[in-house]
Structure 1
Amino acid sequence: MALNKLRQLDGNSAGVTMPKDDLRLEGLIDENGVLDGEHHVHIHHKGDGKWTVELVADVEI
């Protein structure tokens, strides 16, 4: 099982890195390993240390 470090982003949030190989498989990064466009995900806390992350295709901002 690969482990990813939880990191402090600012005073109100933290983040976790996602493997570029997985992002590449989803078509989210380009051939240079750079995010290709703007993407949004829904993060849902399931409880007991479990979360789900789901890519959201259509977002109105």
Structure 2
Amino acid sequence: MLQEKIIKLLGVSRQAVLKLRNGRIELGTNNLIKLAEILDVSLEELTEFVSAYQPSKY
């Protein structure tokens, strides 16, 4: 499964993934950069994509 591979490559725990999904924590800058590299997209593309699918906190 792709998600499992990404979790392993980033070196984050499943608990951290659940917290990310629930909005309890945010992915750090270093992991955002790693994720962009894994997905072969720019950091800008990644953050725009994530922002488009996140509910507004306001």
State TM-score, norm by structure 1.
0.25
Question: Where is the strand percentage greater, Structure 1 or Structure 2?
Answer: 1
Larger radius of gyration: 1
State TM-score, norm by structure 2.
0.26
**Higher RCO (CA < 8 A, seq sep 6+):** 2
Question: Where is the helix percentage greater, Structure 1 or Structure 2?
Answer: 2
